[in-house]
Amino acid sequence: VGSVLRAALSSWLRTSAPRLGAWAGFPAGTLVVNVLGCLLLGSTARWLELQATSWTHARAFLAVGVLGGFTTFSAFGLETFDLWRNSQRAAACANVALQIVLGLAAIGLGYWAVGNWTPSDRGR
């Protein structure tokens, strides 16, 4: 499920997003998928933590299965390598920095958002 969603979103971004100057050829689809996947993973992890029962199987299905298939870290690695190999060193470094910083920020945002939208009577 996650892999199909990733392919559809990446394809749509590749054909629909405008290509602007120095950003032409930048792997924006992978960046968007990774940041969105991190946001969803952070939100899912927090929501499952706040549930009163054990959601081990749901966590495995959602976090490892669906979102693991959705995020594209291996594609990120290959695209970064290709940028570097093609002497686009600045774009390769920007790709690494943006993927990591925005991904971690999205995890934190999702985790924070679910924690703040959950009723406080859960005892947390």
Query: pTM for the complete prediction?
Result: 0.69
pLDDT confidence bin for 65, thresholds 50/70/90: confident
State the pLDDT at residue 103. Answer: 92
Which residues, including other chains, have CB under 8 Å from residue 63's CB and lie 6 or more apart? 41, 44, 45
- Locate tokens 């997003």: which residue? 17
Higher pLDDT pick, 81 / 47: 81
Higher pLDDT pick, 33 / 101: 101
- The rounded Cα 37 to chain-centroid distance in angstroms is 3
How far apart, in whole angstroms, are the C-alpha atoms of residue 121 and residue 50?
Answer: 11
State the pLDDT at residue 4. Answer: 92
